[in-house]
Amino acid sequence: MSKKEKRLKYAGKGGPKRAKLAKLSGGEGIWLFGVHAVNAALRNPERTCRRLVATEDRVKELDPALLARVKKVETSDRQGIDALLPPGTVHQGLALAVNPLPDLSFDDLKRSAFIKDRAVLVMLDQVTDPQNVGAVLRSAAAFAALGVIMQDRFAPPESGALAKAASGGLESVPLARVVNLSKALEELKAEGFVAIGLEATAEKTLPELAPLPKKVVLVLGSEGEGMRQKQRETCSLLARLPMVTEGPVDSLNVSNAAAIALYEAGRG
């Protein structure tokens, strides 16, 4: 069977068919959208893919083996896809209904870190914006971080906006939710991790701490308030990013700060 025939197979006899698209009902999962987020989800064996709605051009670009993972494939124009998603969504002609990923326990993350010679983790304290969390996951994937840790009551739910900002990182970087961040830090320190809190008023810059330990957890707070006192006190060290002292900008978006810190941690 040719690739073209395989593709048409998923749309039914006679080729792709358009019909009135039904929105997701309760319990049918969440929509992911955008080329990178959808392709990464299709490649993730842990992801249950329920329904793909795409333009004909986008369907033709997809590997038939990936299409075979989807229970239902539908074609539509961009306006039809617009109607399925929140207003203003930039979907690039692809929307994929999926089940949320299985939860990763903090203990599982610790076990995977234990067997590594080098490991970098990221902990986010009260970072609630899904696009910021997604961007941190993207940087974590780019710099081979082992995982991201968040407090469950402040962690945004998995969503299309988060996945799109992560640009595939949501599918490859484990995200663990815990009840108590300071307790999690203590447990990681007991496993040999050095907890470095990013703090704008810290005496030393992160590069000045080089070479960094082989096992590091980078702790970042929200842009407005930074780390909370308990997490600050639990960190092994505090460091700031090297910025122009009297420049026009005195802070960075948390996702930008995470990217710089992850780069430094990766240098060792």
255 and 125 share one domain: yes
pLDDT of residue 144: 95
**Measured distance CA(141)–CA(232) in Å, rounded:** 25
125 and 242 share one domain: yes
pLDDT of residue 16: 46
237 and 145 share one domain: yes
pLDDT of residue 250: 67
pLDDT of residue 31: 97
Q: Where are the alpha helices (DSSP H) in 143-253?
A: 160-166, 169-172, 181-190, 229-234
Share of residues in the chain with pLDDT > 90 (%): 77
51 and 163 share one domain: no
163 and 83 share one domain: no
* Residue 120, domain extent: 106-267
Q: Mean of the pLDDT values across residues 95-117?
A: 93
pLDDT of residue 103: 84
Q: How far is CA 66 from the centre of its chain?
A: 21
Q: Give the CATH number of the domain where residue 92 resides.
A: 3.30.1330.30
The tens digit of pLDDT for each residue in 7-42 reads 444 444 344 445 567 777 656 789 999 999 999 999
20 and 50 share one domain: yes
Q: DSSP of 94-151, one letter per residue?
A: EEEEEPPPPPBPHHHHHHHHHT-SSEEEEEEES---HHHHHHHHHHHHHTT--EEEEE
131 and 262 share one domain: yes
pLDDT of residue 266: 87
pLDDT of residue 10: 46
Tell which of 72, 98, 124 closes a domain. 98
Tell which of 76, 98, 120 closes a domain. 98
**Measured distance CA(175)–CA(168) in Å, rounded:** 13
Q: Mean of the pLDDT values across residues 213-233?
A: 93
Q: Mean of the pLDDT values across residues 117-133?
A: 96
pLDDT of residue 225: 82
Select from 264, 154, 169 the least CA-distant residue to 218: 264
What is the overall mean pLDDT for the chain?
A: 89
8 and 136 share one domain: no
92 and 112 share one domain: no
Global confidence as pTM? 0.87
Q: Give the CATH number of the domain where residue 249 resides.
A: 3.40.1280.10
189 and 120 share one domain: yes
**Measured distance CA(110)–CA(16) in Å, rounded:** 47
113 and 141 share one domain: yes
Domain count, the chain: 2
141 and 254 share one domain: yes
**Which two structure tokens, joined as six digits, stand for 25?**
């009902």
Tell which of 69, 98, 127 closes a domain. 98
The tens digit of pLDDT for each residue in 169-207 reads 999 999 999 999 999 999 999 999 999 999 988 999 999
Q: Mean of the pLDDT values across residues 40-52?
A: 96
